Structures are given as structure tokens and as C-alpha cells.
Amino acid sequence: MKMNHVGIMVGDMDTAVEFYTKALGLDVVMGNTKVTEERETAIGRMCIAVFGEGFEGFNIAHLLTQDGIGFELFEMKNRQQRHEVDFSRIGIFHFCLQTDDFHGVISRVEQYGGKVRMDIMRYHPEDENNTSQMVYLEDPFGNLFELYSHTYEETYSAKYE
């Protein structure tokens, strides 16, 4: 199994594309595109099946990480409230990105309207040779994400301890 893409709801497409490209370094595959509610095309019928009758349309942009994972950004006409993570509910609550420019990304996140949610943490502070760092951040719309300095395997695997 491989990860293909993630879909993120945003409040303003232009702000979102700027944030995800300039702060996080993603590339644009398909820019801001309008999708309308209709039944004539396969994509129209799929959107009605997913979002329900009356969604009225949305804007979508497709971005790509350096390792080829897609990021779909959705700006719904009728859903503009800021996202607040409800930890009492079941479901996805964050995604995680990895970078070699850990502190630079954190700086750009704040520069482009995001937020740092916690102090930077080292997973293995007792091991001076393991420099893995992580931090939770938010995009300008309140979507929570993690930033890692090392791979998932390096961060958690006993063979790297």
C-alpha cells in the first residue's frame, strides 16, 4: 500500500495555495479550478455522492509533495468556518510532513499565516546521537499537521535507537 493523496478543506483558495507552496514547498499540479454541482459528468455525480445534494460547488487545487504525494485543497462555497480539532471525535485529526529544513519551514509557516502549536520536541532526548525533532503546526485555517525532521521509520524504529 502506498499513500496517494490527502484532501484538505480550506477557507480561501488563494491563501491556501500560497501557504502550501511558499511555506511548505509543495508544487502546483493543477491550479485553482471551479467545480459546480451537476449530474452530466462523472465528476459531477461523484461530488454529489460525496458532498450531498446542495453543495453548490467548490474550488479545488492539486498540489504535490517532493516525494509525489498529492494534496487536494478544497474551498467549499458553504463551509467557511475555521476548523477546530475536536479530540473527542473519531476521525483523522492531522497529517505529517518531513523536511530537511525544519526550522526554516516553521519560520515560513508563521510568515504565511500558520501557527506553531507547541515547543519543538525531540523524541529521544536521552540519545545525543538521535536528533529527530517534531512539532505540531496549523495552516491558516486551523488544519493541524505535524512536521518531522527525520523519516517515520527513523523516528520510531528500535533499530535507530
Q: Tell me the pLDDT tens digit for each residue of 101-132.
A: 999 999 999 999 999 999 999 877 777 777 78
Q: Cα(first)–Cα(last) distance of the chain, in Å?
A: 26
Of the candidates 76, 77, 66, the residue with the CA atom closest to the CA atom of residue 29? 66
Q: How confident is the model at residue 93 (pLDDT cuts 50, 70, 90)?
A: confident
pTM given for the model: 0.86
Map out the domains of the chain with their CATH numbers.
1-79 (3.30.720.110), 92-161 (3.10.180.10)
Q: Phi and psi for 102 in degrees, rounded to 5?
A: -55, -55
